[in-house]
Amino acid sequence: MPSLVAAAISSEKLLSLSPVDLLVIVLYFVMVLGIGFYLKRYTKTGEDFFLAGRDMSAWIAGLSFVAANLGSLELMGWAASAYQYGILATHWYWIGAIPAMLFLGVVMMPFYYISRTHSVPGYLQLRYGEPARALSAISFGLMTVLMSGINMFSMALVMKIILGWDINFSIWVSSITVAAYVFLGGLLSAIFNEVLQFFLIWLGAIIISVLGLVEAGGWSGMVHRIHERWPGQDYTHLWSGLGSFTANPMGINWAGIVLGLGFVISFGYWTTDFLVVQRVLSARDLRSAKMAPIIGSIFKMALPFIVILPGLLALAVLPEKLVGESQAGAGAHTYNEVLPLMLARYCGPGLLGLGITALIAGFMSGMAGNVSAFATVWTYDIYRAFMRRDASDSHYVSVGRWCTVLGVLVSIGTAYLVMQFLSIMDYVQALFSFFIAPLFGTVILGMLWKRATPAGGFWGLLTGTLASIGMFAWVKGDPSALRYIALSPHAKDMAENMYRALWSWIICVIVTVVVSLATKPKPESQLAGLVYGATEIPSEGHLPLFKRPLFWACVVIVIFFVLNIIFW
Partner 1 sequence: MHGPGFISIWFFIGVLLSAYGVLITVTGFYELGSPPANPPVLFNLHATIWWGMVLLAIGLVYFIRFLPRKK
**Which residues contact partner 1 (rule: CB under 8 A)?**
20, 23-24, 27-28, 31, 34-35, 38, 42, 53, 55-57, 60, 192, 195-196, 199-200, 203, 207, 210-211, 214-215, 284, 344-351, 354
Task: Tell me if residue 56 falls in helix, strand or coil.
Answer: strand
Residue with smaller CB distance to partner 1, 31 or 514:
31
Angle between helices 130-163 and 120-128 (to 10 degrees): 160
Task: Identify whether the C-beta of residue 134 lies closer than 8 Å to the C-beta of residue 385.
Answer: yes
CA 32/CA 566 separation, integer angstroms:
40
CB of 219 to partner 1, least distance (A): 17
Q: Residue 165 CB, nearest distance to partner 1 (Å)?
A: 21
In the complex, minimum distance from the CB of residue 306 to partner 1, in angstroms, rounded to a whole number = 14
Of the pair 107, 318, the CB lying nearest partner 1 is at 318
By beta-carbon proximity to partner 1, the closer residue of 284 and 395 is: 284
Taking the C-alpha atoms of residue 281 and residue 279, their distance in angstroms, rounded to an integer, is 5
The minimum distance between CB 191 and partner 1, in angstroms, equals: 8
Of residues 345 and 500, the one with the C-beta less far from partner 1: 345
**Nearer CB in complex with partner 1: 4/211:** 211
Inter-residue contact 237 to 367 (CB < 8 Å): no
CA distance 75 to 461: 31
How far apart CA 99 and CA 105 sit, in angstroms, is: 10
Question: Residue 90 or residue 282: which is nearer to partner 1 going by CB?
Answer: 282
Residue 336 contacts residue 78 (beta carbons within 8 Å) = no
Q: Which is closer to partner 1, CB of 54 or CB of 522?
A: 54
CB 441 within 8 A of CB 509: yes
In whole angstroms, give the CA distance from residue 109 to residue 123. 12
Nearer to partner 1, 348 or 489 (CB): 348
Least Å distance, CB 210 to partner 1, is: 8
CB-wise, 127 or 287, nearer to partner 1? 287
Report in angstroms how near the CB of residue 258 gets to partner 1 at its nearest.
Answer: 38
- For residues 378 and 485, give the distance between their C-alpha atoms in angstroms, rounded to a whole number: 34
Q: Is the dihedral of CA 344, 346, 351, 357 positive or negative?
A: negative
Q: How far is the CB of 97 from partner 1 (least distance, A)?
A: 24
Query: What is d(CA 40, CA 50) in angstroms, rounded to the nearest whole number?
Result: 13
Name the minimum Å distance from CB 199 to partner 1.
Answer: 5
> For residues 354 and 24, is the Cβ–Cβ distance under 8 A?
yes
- State the minimum distance, in angstroms, from the CB of residue 358 to partner 1: 11
| Type of residue found at 25 | I
In angstroms, the CA 258 to CA 437 distance is: 14
Question: Shortest approach of partner 1 to residue 352 CB, angstroms?
Answer: 8
Greatest Cα pair distance, the chain, in angstroms, is 69
Nearest to 357, CA basis, from 166, 204, 207, 210: 204
Instruction: Please give the helix or strand (H or E) that residue 181 lies within, else none.
Output: helix 167-216
CA 264 to chain centre: 14
Cβ proximity to partner 1: between 21 and 381 the closer is 21
Phi and psi, residue 56, nearest 5°? -85, 145
CA distance 455 to 110: 24
Instruction: Give least dist CB 364 to partner 1, A.
Output: 14
Q: Are 194 and 64 in contact (CB under 8 A)?
A: yes
Q: How far is the CB of 58 from partner 1 (least distance, A)?
A: 12
Q: Please state, in angstroms and rounded to a whole number, the distance separating the CA atoms of residues 497 and 483.
A: 12
Given the complex with partner 1, which of 41 and 389 has the nearer CB atom? 41
Nearer to partner 1, 200 or 360 (CB): 200
